[in-house]
Amino acid sequence: MQAIHERPDELDFDPGTSDSSRLRILLEEGYEARRERVRRAQRAVSYRRWAEDAEAAEAPAEVLADTRRAGGVLGALGRRPTAET
Amino acid sequence: MPVQRGVLYGAPNDPDVAAWLVLTNDDWNTHLRYIGAVPLANPAALDDVPPHSPAVVLDGMGHHAVTAALTSIDRDDDLGSSLGAATDDELRHVEAALIDLLDLRPLLRTPARALPLAPGPLSPMWGDIYFGPPRGERGAEEHKRYVVVSNNQWNVAMPQVVCVRTTTSACRGGPGFPEIQGGRARACCGQTTAIRTAGLDLRRRPVPSRLGLQDMVAIARDIVDTYELRL
C-alpha cells in the first residue's frame, strides 16, 4: 500500500482515489502493466510537446551540417579517404 | 513513412554510410522529426574499425554499426527506404556497445559512480558542457550547449565525442528531457549525437561549465529509456 502513495506519478491515480479503489484497480490491471502504460503515456506527451516546438529541429540540423562539411558522418572514425576527399 | 526502431534504412545524403540503424524508441519515432540512428559502415570503406562497432549484416554482408557516430537525423530527408531489420542478437550487441561507450552501468548502479578522468591534452571531458557548432548569420551566431556523455578514454583518444544537447526552455519536461542544473535546464536525451571535437568550443565555456553526478545519472536513465537499451 505504501508504494501506491510513494509513486503517484508512476501510477497516475487521481488524488482523491481511495486506497481500496487503488488496490482494486491494481489487481485488475496489474501493478507493472499499469506502471508501464502510464510511463508510456507520459513519454508520448513529453515527445509531442517537444515535436511542437520549432527549436527541436535546430540543433540536430546544425550538428549534422557541421559533420558533413568536415567530411561525412563517419568522419575521422576510420573512414578510408575517397577520390573526392 | 513510419520509422521503426531496429530497422535499417538507406542513407541517400551520406555516401559514406551504407545504412542507418534506427535506435530511438517507436514512440519517439512516431512523434519526432529528428530520430536517433547509428550509421552502418561497409568494412571496405574503413581503414580501421572504430571501437564500439559491432557487426550487423546488410545484404548478406557484415557491416560495422559505428555507435560512436550515433546521429540525430531528419526522418523526412535523411532516411531512404527500408533495407531490412537487424536481428535481436545484433541489436543487443549494438546496445551493449553504446552502453559501453557511454559507460552507463557505473552511473546506474546504486550508489552511482562518476566516470574516471583521463588526463590528457585539451579534450572534451565527460560531464563537461560546451558550446556546439554555430548556427545563424555570421557575426550573430548562436551556439547551443552540449554535455559530453562518452567516456573519457574515448574522448581523449578520438576526434569526435558523443554529446547530449541541453535547453533552458521552460516548456520542456517529462520523460526524455530530464531536469538538470537544479531545474534551470533540461537535457534532450533523444538528441544524443556525435560531434567533432573541433566543432566544440573548448576554450570559451558556458556557465556552469559542467554537470554533477546527479544530473549525469538523470541523463543516463533517460538515454536508456529513449534508446531502449537493455542493460
Domain spans, chain B? 7-101, 109-226
Residues of B in contact with A57 (CB under 8 A): 33-34, 74
Tell me if A74 and B193 make a contact (CB, 8 A cut-off). Answer: no
Looking at the domain that runs over B7-101, which CATH code has it been given? 2.30.30.110
- Copy the grid coordinates of residue B119: 588526463
Q: What is the pLDDT of residues B190-219, one digit of tens each?
A: 999 999 999 899 888 999 999 999 999 999
Domain pair B7-101 / B109-226, same fold: yes
Q: What is the mean pLDDT of residues B50-69?
A: 95
Is residue B145 within 8 A of residue B166, CB to CB? The reply is yes
Tell me if B195 and A79 make a contact (CB, 8 A cut-off). Answer: no
Residues of A in contact with B42 (CB under 8 A): none
Handedness of CA B18, B14, B39, A55 (dihedral sign): negative
Residue A83 confidence (pLDDT): 47
The C-alpha atoms of residue B139 and residue B141 are separated, in whole angstroms, by 6
Looking at the domain that runs over B109-226, which CATH code has it been given? 2.30.30.110
pTM for this model (two decimals): 0.88
Q: What is the mean pLDDT of residues B168-180?
A: 80
pLDDT at B226 over 90: yes
* Domain parsing of chain A, residue ranges: 2-69
Residue B47 confidence (pLDDT): 82
pLDDT at A19 over 60: yes
A58 has a chain B CB within 8 A of its CB: yes
Residue of A9, A37, A42, A63 for testing the chain B interface, max B β-carbons within 10 Å? A63
The C-alpha atoms of residue B196 and residue B172 are separated, in whole angstroms, by 27
Shortest alpha-carbon distance between residue B117 and chain A (Å): 22
Task: Give which of B77, B70, B88 is closest to B1, Cα–Cα.
Answer: B77
Q: What is the pLDDT of residues B107-142, one digit of tens each?
A: 998 888 877 766 655 789 999 999 998 776 666 677
The predicted complex's ipTM stands at 0.85
Tell me if A39 and B198 make a contact (CB, 8 A cut-off). Answer: no
Give the Å distances, CA to CA, from B129 to A8, A17, B125. Answer: 33, 44, 9
